[in-house]
């Protein structure tokens, strides 16, 4: 006995998917930086040193004097001699006034006035010691430094970003199908039989 059969053959649908990946590039430019260093300002002021040598007294000690100085010294020495003479005569006059005191003023004054004083001599230096006078003023240095700070200019640069979007393409690679087949399928009617 043959049984009726239904044969079904199906094929599923297949989808095709094609993906294009997105692309992104990032570029970071270096920052722009400018540094300017001004030079320091340096001022140096120097006052020159000064050396003064006065050897006038040394020249005078050696007898080398100007006419003006010689006249001035002679006038001063003459004035001193006049004062000494007045003082001597005054003293001798007072001694003569007091002759009654049993002194011998006339004899003493004759001896004093008749004999010259012995001049004293000692070792001397011509010119005399420390007759040359020196004066020294050292130079002075004034240093003024002004430091200038650096000038820094910094400019950051933004990153350069490029982006290309990805895409997805879909399609049907294989369509779905269903095939149905009958076998041994019969239709029974009134007094007849039919194969489907």
List pLDDT tens digits, range 93-119: 888 888 777 778 888 888 788 777 777
The residue range of the domain holding 167 is 1-29+162-196
Does any domain span residue 2? yes
State both tokens at 116. Answer: 């010259």
Confidence of residue 124 (pLDDT cuts 50, 70, 90): low
Does any domain span residue 183? yes
The per-residue pLDDT for range 69-81, each reduced to its tens digit, is: 888 888 999 999 9
The per-residue pLDDT for range 20-48, each reduced to its tens digit, is: 998 999 999 999 999 999 999 999 999 99
**What are residue 169's DSSP bridge partners?**
18
> What is the pLDDT, as a whole number, of residue 1?
59
Does any domain span residue 170? yes
Does any domain span residue 93? yes
Pairing assessment for the beta strands 14-20 and 167-174 based on DSSP bridges: antiparallel
Q: What is the mean pLDDT of residues 163-190?
A: 83
Does any domain span residue 189? yes
Average confidence score pLDDT of the chain: 86
Does any domain span residue 97? yes
Work out how many domains the chain is built from and give that number: 2
pLDDT at 146 over 90: yes
CA dist., res. 66 & res. 145, Å (int): 52
CA dist., res. 170 & res. 15, Å (int): 7
Burial 64-91 (b: 16+ CB within 10 A, else e): eeeeeeeeeeeeeeeeeeeeeeeeeeee
| Claim to verify: residue 67 and residue 24 sit in the same structural domain | no
Whether the CB-CB separation of 106 and 92 falls below 8 Å is answered with: no
Answering whether pTM is above 0.75, one says no
pLDDT at 169 over 70: yes
């Amino acid at each position: 006995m043959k049984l009726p059969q239904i044969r079904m053959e199906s094929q599923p649908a297949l989808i095709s998917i094609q993906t294009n990946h997105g692309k992104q590039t990032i570029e970071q430019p270096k920052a722009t930086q400018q540094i300017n260093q001004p030079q320091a300002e340096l001022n140096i002021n120097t006052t020159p040193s000064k050396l003064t040598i006065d050897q006038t007294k040394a020249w005078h000690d050696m007898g080398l004097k100007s006419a003006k100085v010689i006249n001035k010294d002679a006038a001063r020495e003459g004035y001193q001699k006049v004062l000494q003479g007045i003082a001597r005569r005054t003293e001798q006059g007072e001694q003569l006034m007091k002759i009654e005191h049993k002194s011998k003023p006339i004899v003493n004054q004759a001896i004093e006035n008749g004999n010259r004083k012995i001049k004293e001599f000692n070792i001397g230096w011509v010119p005399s010691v420390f007759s040359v006078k020196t004066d020294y003023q050292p130079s002075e240095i004034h240093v003024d430094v002004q430091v200038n700070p650096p000038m820094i200019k910094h400019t950051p640069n933004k990153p350069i970003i490029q982006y290309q979007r990805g895409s997805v393409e879909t399609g049907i690679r294989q369509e779905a199908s269903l095939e149905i087949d009958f076998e041994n399928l019969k239709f029974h009617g009134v007094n007849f039989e039919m194969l489907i």
